[in-house]
Structure 1
């Protein structure tokens, strides 16, 4: 792949949970939800997805994000980094967006779509729970941007996808990687 198609948006952290929570804090900024049903309705996703998201970040943290959102001084650097990465991703997104994530990251990837103003774009999403091969999904993409999303860092999905992308001739989509892995 050419260098411009391998935009690597990486943040290394020894505490993946903290990174996960900081991303969640960004995603929920200015989007207060009173309960899971309201979150599911506003985000156009299922209550079960909203529930998994809450489980990911912890219910007490979730309540904190909803009602007492603020930036803690020690987290300013992380907050700024994630804001910058989201803005960078927006610059590289062309037309529709396609997202590949592991099943463990699906909930948070749905919220990332919101922060990238995905409601304005035609978008599709692949995750490894669906009964479809990654290559078939990639071949179905005709244009736009493919976002490879890996926060949990415990899946080979991203590296396998990159290997598949490298074998596709005349590819017409940009690739953006958001990963905690180097």
Structure 2
């Protein structure tokens, strides 16, 4: 039986039954209502994150950012996922792979390995690839990447200049760019992030 609240597309991360029970607002019965509640929570988190200096390359900060982005909507916000997904590393690898990403990113910055936009694109791709949380990984990774860019003295990415949750064509281009990066071709993602 289909559940219209939790219908997924081919690029979405499906939630387990237990994770679905973590929905906090009882009034939400439609996907549109869920999207609106999450977006309001995300806007509060953005305001919190951009009004202070943050160490984006810190695991505690990243988990706290996810909690601030989704904590009014989901009980599991800010907690690493415990189950397999259609994307992402095995759950037991999340903490290790995340630590490796943060160390790599610090190295890239300290040694000028890549220009700032490429550091941002590579950081974003790997964070999405790890897929640390039950859901909201793309939105979390986009905000974390924008915070990293600002910390590097750069402007935020434009991310296709649209809300990727609701835009089919732009979302498909974003997912295609991420999949190209999975195959070690970062250039489509670099083009997309400033499009």
TM-score normalised over the length of structure 1: 0.30
Bigger relative contact order, structure 1 or 2, given CA contacts below 8 A and separation 6+? 1
More strand as a share of residues = 1
Higher helix share: 2
